[in-house]
Structure 1
Amino acid sequence: MGRSSRRDFLQASAGGLLLTGIPGAIPAASSGLSIAPFRFDVTAPRGHGCCGGWIKPIEAVDDAQEAIGYVLLGAGAPIVVCAVDWTGILNSAHVAWRTAMAEAAGTTAERCAVQCVHQHNAPFACLDAQKLVDAQGDLPNIMLPDFFAVCLDRLRQAITAAIPQAVPVTHVGQGLGRVEQVASNRRINRGPDGRILSMRGSACADPKLRDMTEGLVDPELRTVAFYSGDRAVVCCHIWIWR
C-alpha cells in the first residue's frame, strides 16, 4: 500500500459522503445560508521552537503547515471556524486569534472558534509563556511574536478575501465512522492494589504497555459537510482521540 497523508484520508472521506448520495443530508436551500472557505500558510521558519520547546527546533520543512477554515453566513452574525496545523494556541494568543477572526468577518469573538491538529513538529503558540522564556535568556523559543503577528495578518486577509466568494448552502450532510487501534487513554499499568506502576506517553517501546487494551476513548470520527448543489464545499472532521 502506498504512503498516504492525513490530507489524503480526509479528502477521501469527504468524497465518500458525496458518492453515497449525501446520507442524512438536510436540505438547506431555503435557509439563506452561505459559506466561504479559506486557507493560508502558517509554516514556521527554520529555528522556530516546536511543541513549546520540548523537542528540537525546525530544521527543514517536509510538509507545509496550513490554517483552514470557513465563514458561515446567514445565521445571524457570521460564524467563523478555523483549524491550524500547530500543537496548540493558548491564553492571550487564543484570544488574539479569535479577535482577528471576528474583526475580519464582522462578528464577535464569541462566534469564532479555533482548534489545532496538535502534531508535535509545530509551534505551540503561547505568547504569555514566551514572555517568561524571554526573561530567562537561555531557553528555546516557544512562539516568536513577530511570526505570530504575520499569521494574524494572513488570517485577516484570507477571511476578507473569502467572504465575497461565499456560495449558497443547499444541503448539510453528516457522517460517522469508527476509528480502531489508533488511540488510547494513555495506557496505565496498575498493580493489584490499584497503584500506578507505569504509563505510556506519546511514544512507548514497552511491549507490555503497548499490548494493553485501548481503554475508554471516544472511537468515532464525526463529519459535517456543507454542500452547494452536488459539490462538498466544506467538510469538517472531528475526532476527540484522548
Structure 2
Amino acid sequence: MRKHCSNVCCLRQIVVPFAIVAVALSMIVPVGQAAEPLRVGVFDVDASPAIGSPLAYDPTKEVTSPLSCRGLVLLGDERPIVLCAVDWIGISNGGRQAFREGLAAAVGTDVERVALHTLHQHDAPRCDLTTDMVLAAYGLNTQVFDTPMARDVIRRASAAVKRAMAEAQPVTHLGLGEAEIEKVASNRRILGPDGKVQFVRYTACRDPEIRAKPVGTIDPKVKLISFWNEDRPLAVLTYYATHPQSYYRTGGANPDFPGMARNARQTATGVPHIHFNGAGGNIGAGKWNDGSPENRQVLADRVADGMRRAWESIQKQPISAADMSWRHVKVSLPLAPHLDEAALQKTLDDETQPATTRVGAASDLVWVRRHLAGDK
C-alpha cells in the first residue's frame, strides 16, 4: 500500500530547460583573437498579484514578500538573447507565447532567442492566456487567472528589458562556480523491496518514518554562472534542482525558500541575482521539511549558504561575443493515452463537476489541441 505525505505538487507544462545557458555560452576559451565585446544588461520588475487576485490555489490575502520577474539580455555578434525567470507557479500556452513575444519585440530579437522560466512557487499566480479564453466561455476564468495583471507584468518587463539593453555593460570575463547544498533536496518517491513505490514524500512530510528514508538520487550541487567587467561582477545566475515549496495555501504571495535565498545573496553581494530551478520532478525538500513555517527560513539559509560557497569558488576566464552562440530545437512529445479530446470536452461542459476538475480539463484540452495542430 502506498503511503502519502501532504502537499501534492504537479509540474505539468511548467519547467523550461535552462541548461541551454551552457549552450548559449560556448565558452571553451581561450579567446583566439580580439572580438566584439559581449555585453549584459539586467532587469527586474515586481510580479506580485493584487489582493483578491488568484494565486495557484487560493485568492491573494496579502503579499508576504514581493514576487519578481527578472532576467538579463545578452548582446553580442548576433541578435540579443533574453533569459527571464518569474516567481510564478507556471506560465503556459498563450501566456508563454505572449511573454516571449513581448520581450523579443522590446530588444529586437527572435522569439526563439527568449527563454522563459518559472520558479514554480505555489503561493504564486498561474498564467495561461489560452486556457483563460476557453474558461471565459464558462465563467470560470477569473477563479484561476488574472490576465490583466499578467499582461501588465509582460508590459513592464518588456519596457525593463529594453532599458536593460540600452544600459548593458561590457563583459570581459565569465565566472563559474559550484557547491553542494546540504539537507534540502531529496527524492519524493521511495521504492520498496519489490522495486515499486512504497512511500511518497512530497513537499512537506509530517511522517517521521517517511522522512527517515534515504535521500535518494539527486543533484546536490548549486551551479553558478557570473558575468564580469574585469573585476566588477555584473550579474549572477544560479541553478539548483528541487521543488521550491516549504508550505503553501496561506493566501500570502511569496517566493518561498529559493527566492528568499536568492534575495539574501543579492543583498549580500550587491550583484543582480537570477535563480532558476533545475528539473525537480522527483525532487523536493520532504526529507528535511515537516511543513512547519519556521522551517522555510532554515531551508532558505541552507540554499543561500550553498550559493555563497559557489560564489566563493568562482573561477574566471576571458570571454567575448565570439564565444557565445544560441541554438534551439523544436520538439513534440507524444500525448499521454488518457488525454482524450472528446472526454476532456465532456468534462469541461459538465456543470455538475467541481470547478477545479473543469479547469483541469480545460488546461488539458488546450494542450491536446496544440499537439493535434502540430504546434511545437
1:121-147 CA deviation, whole Å, 9 max, x = no partner? 101212233344434436862221111
Secondary structure of the equivalent of 1:36?
Answer: strand
Does the Cα contact within 8 Å between 2:72 and 2:83 map onto a contact in 1? yes
Secondary structure of the equivalent of 2:62?
Answer: coil
Equivalent-residue separation in structure 2 for 1:141 and 1:78 (angstroms): 37
Which has the larger share of strand?
1
Secondary structure of the equivalent of 2:241?
Answer: coil
Aligned residue among 98, 103, 115 for 2:100: 98
Partner AA of 1:228 in structure 2: N
RMSD: 2.3
Equivalent-residue separation in structure 2 for 1:128 and 1:209 (angstroms): 39
Q: Which residue of 2 aligns with 1:240?
A: 241
Name the CA shift for 1:195/1:170 in 2 (closer, same or farther; >3 Å): closer
Q: Which residue of 2 aligns with 1:216?
A: 217
Aligned residue among 106, 109, 115 for 1:107: 109
Equivalent-residue separation in structure 2 for 1:204 and 1:215 (angstroms): 15
Secondary structure of the equivalent of 2:116?
Answer: strand
Name the CA shift for 1:88/1:112 in 2 (closer, same or farther; >3 Å): same
Secondary structure of the equivalent of 2:150?
Answer: helix
1:57-83 CA deviation, whole Å, 9 max, x = no partner? 210112111111111001411010111
Equivalent-residue separation in structure 1 for 2:156 and 2:142 (angstroms): 25
Partner AA of 2:150 in structure 1: F
Does the Cα contact within 8 Å between 1:88 and 1:116 map onto a contact in 2? yes
Q: Which residue of 2 aligns with 1:15?
A: none
Equivalent-residue separation in structure 2 for 1:143 and 1:31 (angstroms): 44
Does the Cα contact within 8 Å between 2:187 and 2:201 map onto a contact in 1? no
Secondary structure of the equivalent of 1:202?
Answer: coil
Equivalent-residue separation in structure 2 for 1:38 and 1:94 (angstroms): 18
Equivalent-residue separation in structure 2 for 1:88 and 1:102 (angstroms): 20
Does the Cα contact within 8 Å between 1:186 and 1:200 map onto a contact in 2? yes
Does the Cα contact within 8 Å between 1:173 and 1:226 map onto a contact in 2? yes
Does the Cα contact within 8 Å between 2:80 and 2:108 map onto a contact in 1? yes
Deviates more, 1:26-35 or 1:227-236: 26-35
Gap runs ≥5 in structure 1: 1-24
TM (norm. structure 1) is 0.81
Of all paired residues, the percent bearing the same amino acid is 35
Q: Which residue of 1 aligns with 2:190?
A: 188
Equivalent-residue separation in structure 2 for 1:165 and 1:89 (angstroms): 28
Deviation at 1:159, TM superposition (A): 1.2
1:186-232 CA deviation, whole Å, 9 max, x = no partner? 14253x43443431222211111111111111111111000112221
Name the CA shift for 1:86/1:138 in 2 (closer, same or farther; >3 Å): closer
Name the CA shift for 1:43/1:213 in 2 (closer, same or farther; >3 Å): same
Deviation at 1:174, TM superposition (A): 0.4
Q: Which residue of 1 aligns with 2:199?
A: 198
Does the Cα contact within 8 Å between 2:100 and 2:116 map onto a contact in 1? yes
Equivalent-residue separation in structure 1 for 2:64 and 2:191 (angstroms): 36
Partner AA of 1:38 in structure 2: F
Name the CA shift for 1:193/1:164 in 2 (closer, same or farther; >3 Å): closer
1:23-42 maps to which residues of 2 (within 5 A)? 30-42=35-47
Equivalent-residue separation in structure 1 for 2:127 and 2:66 (angstroms): 17
